[in-house]
Amino acid sequence: MAQRIAILTGANRGLGRTTAEILVQKYANNFQYIFTERSKNHDELTQALKSINPNAQFEVRDLDISSKESRAQFKQWFSQKYHKIDVLFNNAGVFDQDKDTGARPSKETAEYTLNINFINTVEFTEELYPLMTDDGKIVVISSFLGKLEHQPEAAKQILVNENLTKEKLFELAHNYINNAGTPDKDLIFNNYVYFTSKALLNAYTRYVATKYIKPNQSFFAVHPGWVQTDMGGKKAPLTKDYACPFLANIIAEFPFGKHPLSGLLQFENKQLEY
Q: How do the pLDDT tens digits run along the chain, 274 residues long?
A: 679 999 999 999 999 999 999 999 999 999 999 999 998 899 999 999 999 999 999 999 999 999 999 999 999 999 999 999 999 999 989 988 889 899 999 999 999 999 999 999 999 999 999 999 999 999 999 999 999 999 999 999 999 999 999 999 999 999 999 999 898 999 999 999 999 999 999 999 999 999 999 999 999 999 998 888 877 777 878 898 999 999 999 999 999 999 999 999 999 999 999 9
Burial 86-124 (b: 16+ CB within 10 A, else e): bbbbbbbbbbeeeebeeeebeeebbbbbbbbbbbbbbbb
- Asked, for residue 128, whether it belongs to a domain, the answer is yes
Q: Write down the pLDDT at residue 136.
A: 99
- Asked, for residue 202, whether it belongs to a domain, the answer is no
Q: Write down the pLDDT at residue 98.
A: 84
Work out how many domains the chain is built from and give that number: 1
Q: Which domain holds residue 222?
A: 4-101+119-145+209-272
Q: Write down the pLDDT at residue 222.
A: 98
Q: Using DSSP bridges, classify how beta strands 270-272 and 265-267 pair: parallel, antiparallel or unpaired.
A: antiparallel
- Asked, for residue 201, whether it belongs to a domain, the answer is no
Q: Write down the pLDDT at residue 231.
A: 75
Question: Given strand 85-90, what is the order of strands in its sheet?
Answer: 58-62, 31-37, 4-8, 85-90, 132-141, 218-222, 265-267, 270-272
Q: Write down the pLDDT at residue 255.
A: 97
Q: Write down the pLDDT at residue 233.
A: 77
- Asked, for residue 42, whether it belongs to a domain, the answer is yes
Is the CA virtual torsion 226, 229, 70, 133 positive or negative?
negative
- Asked, for residue 196, whether it belongs to a domain, the answer is no
With beta carbons less than 8 A apart as the criterion, state whether 63 and 71 touch: yes
- Asked, for residue 65, whether it belongs to a domain, the answer is yes
Q: Write down the pLDDT at residue 1.
A: 60
- Asked, for residue 52, whether it belongs to a domain, the answer is yes
Q: What is the CATH number of the domain that holds 236?
A: 3.40.50.720
Q: Write down the pLDDT at residue 156.
A: 98
- Asked, for residue 261, whether it belongs to a domain, the answer is yes
Q: Please enumerate, as own/partner, the contacts of 122-127 that have beta carbons within 8 Å and a separation of 24 or more.
A: 122/166, 122/169, 122/170, 122/201, 122/204, 123/65, 123/68, 123/71, 124/9, 124/65, 124/71, 124/90, 125/88, 125/90, 125/209, 126/166, 127/71, 127/72, 127/75
